[in-house]
Amino acid sequence: MEISLRHNFLISLVLVSCAQADLIWPTPNTAFYDGQPIEAYVQATATGNPESGLFGCVRNQGSRFHEGLDLYPVKRDLKGEALDSIYAALPGKVMYVNRVPGLSSYGCYVIVEHDGEILAYHSLYAHLASVDVGIVPGVRVSAGTVLGVMGRSASYNIPRARAHLHFEIGFRLSDNFENWYDRQKFINKNHHGKWNGMNLVSIDPLDFYKSTRREEAGNLYEFLHSIPVAARIRVYSQDIPDFVKNYDALLTKPLDMGSIVAWDIAFTEYGVPKEWTPRFIGENLLGEAGEVKVLTYNPKLLKTQNCQRVLTLSGGRPSITLDTLNTIKKLFGFR
C-alpha cells in the first residue's frame, strides 16, 4: 500500500497544474452562471433570509452549521411540486442511493464519487422527489447525467413551497464508520453504511464554483489548498487511516520514508482534514500512542466562528472540541 500511495503522491504533483474541473451546475437554473445574486437560486429557510441556504454557520443566528447549499426549483407542476431535473456535477461513479425518505434527514439522496479527479471527492444530492431508475451503486455517470427530480423528501417535513436540492461536496472520514457508530449506542440503526452523513465532511460548494468560474482554482485539489488552516493537530498513531488511503493527494510527503509514529493534520475552519504530514521514527517526537495535541491555530478564524469550531479558546488556551475529537476517532478508530 505504501508503494502505491507514494506513486499516486508523485503523480498528483505532476498533474495538479493541468487538470481542470469542468463543473456542471446541478439544477436547470442558470442564475449563477448569469452572474445573478444568491436570491435568484438559493432556497431560504423559514426565516426568508437567502443566506440561511448557504454553507457554513448560517442557521439559528449563526450558531448552527449547514453543510451544503440549498437550491430552489425553476419549474413546478400545477400542485406546486418541484419538477427540476438534478444533474451530476462531474463524471464519476454512483456510490450510494437511498430511496426511502424516512431513513435519513437527507431524504432520498444520491452520492457520486468523482474518482477521475486528482483529488477524488464526492458530491451529494439530497431531498429528491425521485431517483432515476438507472441510478444505482456502481453505475458510471457523465457530467450532466440526470440523477433524479428535485423534491422535499426527508425524515422531517419540508413544506412544498421550500422544495429544494441540498447539494454537498466533500469527503468521507472512514470506511469503518460502523464501528464508531455502534460504540455510540444510538437508538436508530445506521441504514447508510459509510455514506451516513455523520461520516462526511464538506467544503463550501458555492465558493468552489465561484473559484473555478474566476479561474482561481482549476479543480478541488487547488481549491482545498486555498482554504486557510484553522488548526494543526498532531495525532500519535502508527496506522495509515482510510482517509489517507482514499485521498492520498492530501499527503505532504510520501509514506515510505520510515516507520510512522504520528500525523500532523491541518484542519479547515469547518473541520475538513485538508493536509496530512506523516512523522517518522527518528524525528524525536514526544508522545504516546493515541495522544492528541494542538500544534498551531489561527485565533482570528476561531474568534469569528460561532459554530462547528475545530478548537475553542478559553483564557487564551486552545482546546480540541468534541466534534473534532469525534472526527479523529472516526479517522483513526480510537475509542
Q: What is the pLDDT of residues 288-305, one digit of tens each?
A: 999 999 999 999 988 888
pLDDT of residue 88: 98
Q: What is the pTM of this model?
A: 0.92
- Sign of the CA dihedral with 28 first, then 33, 34, and 35 last: positive
φ/ψ of residue 130, rounded to 5: -155, 155
Find out whether 57 and 64 touch, Cβ atoms under 8 Å.
yes
Find out whether 29 and 39 touch, Cβ atoms under 8 Å.
no
CA separation for the pair 194, 201 (Å, rounded) = 12
Give the residues across from 168 on adjacent strands.
124
CA separation for the pair 90, 85 (Å, rounded) = 15
Task: Name the burial class of residue 25, with classes exposed (0-12), middle (13-18) and buried (19+) by CB atoms within 10 angstroms of its CB.
Answer: middle
Query: Do strands 92-98 and 85-87 pair parallel, antiparallel, or not at all (unpaired)?
Result: unpaired
How confident is the model over 140-167, as a mean pLDDT? 97
Among all chains, which residue has been given the C-alpha cell 466534534? 323
CB contact set of 166 (below 8 Å; sequence gap of 6+)? 68, 69, 70, 106, 109, 124, 125, 126, 127
Cβ count within 10 A of residue 163: 23
How confident is the model over 177-206, as a mean pLDDT? 96
How confident is the model over 175-180, as a mean pLDDT? 96
pLDDT of residue 227: 96
CA separation for the pair 263, 260 (Å, rounded) = 8
How confident is the model over 112-119, as a mean pLDDT? 95
- Sign of the CA dihedral with 89 first, then 94, 96, and 100 last: positive
CB contact set of 238 (below 8 Å; sequence gap of 6+)? 259, 260, 261, 289
Q: Of 153-157, 240-244, 297-301, 314-318, where does mean pLDDT reach its minimum?
A: 314-318
How confident is the model over 177-196, as a mean pLDDT? 96
Among all chains, which residue has been given the C-alpha cell 465532511? 201
Greater confidence, 22 or 256? Answer: 256
pLDDT of residue 4: 41
pLDDT of residue 96: 98
pLDDT of residue 302: 87
304 CA to centre of own chain: 22
Q: Does position 316 have pLDDT exceeding 80, yes or no?
A: no
Question: Residue 18 — pLDDT band, cuts 50, 70, 90?
Answer: very low
How confident is the model over 36-59, as a mean pLDDT? 97
φ/ψ of residue 116, rounded to 5: -85, -5
Length reported for the chain:
335
Domains and CATH numbers, the chain: 23-213 (2.70.70.10), 226-332 (no CATH)
